[in-house]
Homo-oligomer: A and B are copies of this chain.
């Protein structure tokens, strides 16, 4: 594939530059980058994707896996991800109804770049912490 290797500096620049062209473009959907990044930045999106990574899960199982998410937010985030085609939703008409969520191939393909970003975060978070401490000490 011709996709940029995440570690490739030159390609990174080319991609970064591209978003500049979207400035001042209000219509939603005009900037897929903004679109995806906004979703990634949402509080629960990553936790849910992580929770589905090992396999399909039901609503309650997911809620337990994520931890302190409310049903409201779980439902909402799940809907968004489903709408974006990142996860699938299957209803089983059992006596107590159960619903199973699972990553789609598209959803699974998103894990790699997301993991890259999280990896960067883990690698550099101590440096960031230091920078914050220094900044706060200076102007706190």
Contacts and interface: CB of A to CB of B under 8 A. Distances in A.
A85 B32 contact: no
Contacts of A15: 115, 118-119, 122
Interface class of chain A by DSSP: helix
A73 to B, nearest CB: 13
A134 B106 CA distance: 15
B136 A83 contact: yes
A76 interface: no
Interface residues of A, number: 72
A116 B47 contact: no
A65 B15 CA distance: 16
A20 B32 contact: no
Contacts of A83: 131-132, 135-136
Contacts of A119: 3-4, 6, 11, 15, 113
Interface of A: 3-9, 11-13, 15-20, 23-24, 26, 29, 32-33, 35-38, 40-43, 46-47, 49-51, 53-54, 65-68, 82-85, 106, 109-125, 127-132, 134-136
